[in-house]
Structure 1
Amino acid sequence: MNKEKLIEWFQEGNISIPKLLIVKYKSLGLNEEEFVLLLQVMTFMQKGNSFPTPSELATIMTLSDTNCSDVLRKLIQKGFLAIKEEQEDTGLIYESYSLNPLWDKIIQMLLFEDMKKEQAINKKGEEDLYTVFEKEFGRPLSPFEIETLTMWLDQDHHDPSIIKTALRESVMSGKLNFRYIDRILFEWKKNGVRTIEQAQQHSQKFRQHQQKPKSAPEQTNEYKRAIPFYNWLES
């Protein structure tokens, strides 16, 4: 057999193995024997044999028939492999292996990893939030202020970016205190404000409303003066 034929033969003999299974089998709780046996089961299934026996598996492994049987039982007990009954058109019932439990475990692991990443990002966002507030206030936050920040995040479910926007609004309004910021957040939540853009639009509407001069026979300087920012505490 020449080199070209060998390469063609190798390529035709490929099987599909998810990369995640190769790099994450240890994280899933599989040891090397269990991992390789699963790969062999996958190989048989992709070749059309959906229920290889321990003896058939042992012919291509260094494990004995008994060892293969023990590992298969462990894989089923640990929820990586399942045996299901299927029925042919003729009515004949037969058994086959199902790898769905394995795929479910991989999906759950990925979802858990995504959740951990999101928690880490949120945690970093909280830490940044405390830093931003301390920088604007020019001092460390008091225990009450830290508790208020935590309440905005955990109980009121305000996004950190919205809280920072409310902080900037209070700074520009010259009313830098937690009561004023809490009132801003309350008003925004009541009016369905969820994004920075919505908060800016909502604030702009109030400013435009406040800047309209009242009709009077004589307008004093007080009426003519534009009010630059909405006083949330007096809404």
Structure 2
Amino acid sequence: MDKKKLAEWLSQGSIAIPKLLLYHYKDLGLSEAEFVLLLHMHSFMEEGIVFPTPAELAEKMTVTPSECMEMLRKLLQKGFISIEENVDEQEIRSEKYSLQPLWEKLVHYLYAELLKEEKREQQEEEQSLYTVFEQEFGRPLSPFECETLAMWIDQDGHSPLLIKAALREAVLSGKLNFRYIDRILFEWKKNGIRTIEQAQNYGKRFRKYQQSSKPTQPAQSEYKQTIPFFNWLES
């Protein structure tokens, strides 16, 4: 084999195909033929041919120019490609294909899938939250208690993780009831606590304040205080 010829072939370079497009073209509603056609359009554009004809595209595929024309029409109709005005350095106006709609569709699809995944994870977290409460209470939750849990999430905006933290604080405090847990969440929300990290920092400041304000010889009655929140966070 002529080494110079081989080097010439290799010097023609390659085209970069996003793996996400390769993995999801079917999900976008593209057929294999349409996918390959888009790849050839992309290749032509990288070579500076911004408006390849159906005949030029068909020559690279196993379809006729008329079949290629029909696929281009469908791709335009379905919003995968667009035709834009092109102005060169000599200000000569012409037309060019754009694959921008394809990339936008791909991004939109991936974003929608991400939202679905986040929603699924949230539903799993909420379901896990109900299970944890039933395990701690040792019984199924009542309809009112289920409604309270939903209210904490939907109306008050507490995360399932923070609700579990409040539950554990109630368990450690020996006050396992929804009213006490609601009070913990109320205090956290009033002080802007929305994450475990914030709860940790707030707990440190809370205990530091308690220690600094604690009298050296407190009366016996002063020992009867509510167990401080957040103790478990440092365990």
Cα distance, 1:85 vs structure 2: 0.3
How is 1:149-188 mapped onto 2 (pairs within 5 angstroms)? 149-188=149-188
Cα distance, 1:125 vs structure 2: 0.9
Match of 1:192 in 2: 192
Match of 1:76 in 2: 76
RMSD of aligned Cα (Å): 2.4
What SS does the corresponding residue of 1:28 show, helix, strand or coil?
Answer: coil
Contact 1:15 1:43 in 2 (8 A): yes
Match of 2:9 in 1: 9
1:46 aligns with 2:51: no
Counterpart code for 1:227: Q
Distance across 2 between alignment mates of 1:12 and 1:226: 83
Cα distance, 1:220 vs structure 2: 4.4
Counterpart code for 2:112: F
How is 1:116-155 mapped onto 2 (pairs within 5 angstroms)? 116-155=116-155
Distance across 1 between alignment mates of 2:207 and 2:221: 16
Distance across 2 between alignment mates of 1:164 and 1:207: 21
Q: Deviations over 1:53-72 (max 9, x none)?
A: 11111222221121111100
Cα distance, 1:210 vs structure 2: 6.0
Cα distance, 1:198 vs structure 2: 2.4
Aligned length: 228
Match of 1:221 in 2: 220
TM-score w.r.t. the length of structure 2 is 0.86
TM-score w.r.t. the length of structure 1 is 0.86
Contact 1:81 1:100 in 2 (8 A): yes
Structure 1's 17 and 227: CA in aligned 2 closer, same or farther, altered over 3 A?
A: same
Mean CA deviation greater in 3-12 or 48-57: 3-12
Gaps of 5+ in 2: 230-235
1:89 aligns with 2:89: yes
Distance across 2 between alignment mates of 1:10 and 1:90: 33
Distance across 2 between alignment mates of 1:61 and 1:210: 78
Gaps of 5+ in 1: none
Cα distance, 1:4 vs structure 2: 7.7
Q: Deviations over 1:183-233 (max 9, x none)?
A: 211111111111223224434555666675569xx964223x2636149xx
Task: Report percent identity of matched pairs.
Answer: 55
What SS does the corresponding residue of 2:158 show, helix, strand or coil?
Answer: coil
